[in-house]
Amino acid sequence: MTDHSSRLFQHAQKLIPGGVNSPVRAWRAMGLTPRFIARAQGAHITDVDGNNYIDFVGSWGPMIVGHAHPRVVAALHEAAKAGTSYGAPTAAEVELAEMLVAAVPGLEMVRLVNSGTEATMSALRLARAATGRDRIIKFDGGYHGHADTVLVQAGSGVLTQGIPGSPGVPPAMAQLTLSLPYNDLAAVEQAVAQYPGEIAAIIVEPVAGNMGVVPPAPGFLAGLRQLCDRHGIVLIFDEVITGFRVAWGGAQSRYEVIPDLTCLGKVIGGGLPVGAYGGRRDLMAQMAPVGPVYQAGTLSGNPLAVAAGLATLKILTEPGTYERLEEQGRVLEIGFVAAAQQAGMPLIVNRVGSMFTLFFAPSPVTDLAGAQASDTSRFQKFFRLMLERGIYLPPSQFEAWFISLAHTKEDLEKTLAASGQVFSCLKNGQP
């Protein structure tokens, strides 16, 4: 039953555009009323009607250690007792910066902000200032926040809602952004040749997570690095999703390709609003107050977000953490593929570590075109039937699923059992 969720949603739509504070939460692509969540613990969430679900959204990635982890809650409690915001430097933010610089290969200096959007916006501003150039390259289906510069052919909620860009973005701004097919190095080389000396930055999700999960093709990231080196272009890795998710140190550690600038978020705040950008010391030294490039934020380095982030990262340093996440991902990948094969259902599972996406497609998905060619109507039915069986998934074909350390063997077994039932229903045309 969803009586309370339905009533809340009806009321919310009178007060909040679409009834939600982030578009994909409206569940429009699924044709359902969104569930309003009352509480969460570990790998489970409970809605306002008392329905309990195994959660593979994880607040869209940050909850890698699980919801309401005792150590994170305790850290938040202690921080809140001392005050929730000072608008002044703290020792804890220096500790977090030190941990980030030590862990992420591309970071020599880092600055904390309040969101992934702030991080990417600031990194792009810095790249333009450092190079004296205006154009940037991004990739179709890549989502780098909702700043004007990067809402061209964006992924995530923009893609889910079927919006090619956004009204309100000046055409002159959009024209400075070149959006190219992901994993197509030749297209990037052609664009750089077409605009010699004009490209300030290439920004890329090293593992795409906003058209669904799409891993980088062999040589793609290394090829971008070499191209940027040859042409004086700043390479920016948007690791808001992948940072500390696919490996300690992020995708750049996993794939051994080092960008000039890195954007972080999600995991480093342990579920509280946070972002960060950083990179080479010579670039970061151009930020105010030591340099001319301005960026500021009243709540940047907020003590609650810093406390939650530090507690989360310290849990992730424990031995065997990423091996366990990798194994959980492997078990689900193999299980989904086997269940689909048994039902005679074409299925592609794209996975990197503990983030993955299921595509109802007969051939590999390597870019946005492949993701869009998958059977999204079948995914909609899959989502609904899995929800009925207590499995809470991202309400969009074009989003990543996330595993946490809190998921148990029983959680995975229940999820795979449910998927087997659902695949059979879909194959047989049952509602």
User: Residues with catalytic annotation?
Assistant: 143, 238, 266
Closest to 2 measured CA to CA, from 37, 44, 30, 26: 37
Contact 119, 300 (CB under 8 A): no
Q: Tell me the Ramachandran region of residue 365: left when phi exceeds 0, alpha when psi lies from -120 to 50, beta otherwise.
A: beta
Cβ–Cβ < 8 Å for 405, 65: yes
Angstrom CA distances, 160 to 23, 101, 156, 227, 239, stand at 9, 34, 6, 32, 21
Residues 6+ apart with CB under 8 A from 295: 111, 113, 118, 122, 125, 287, 288
Name the residue type at position 149. Answer: T
Q: Are 123 and 261 in contact (CB under 8 A)?
A: yes
Tokens linked to 230:
């040859």
For 71-108, letters b (16+ CB in 10 Å) and e give: ebeebbeebeeeeeeeeeebebbeebbebbeebbebbe
DSSP 99: H
Read off the tokens for 72: 């994170």
Could you count the other beta carbons within 10 Å of the beta carbon of residue 125? Answer: 19
Report DSSP state, residue 287.
B
Q: What angle do CA 295, 296, 300 make, to 5 degrees?
A: 130
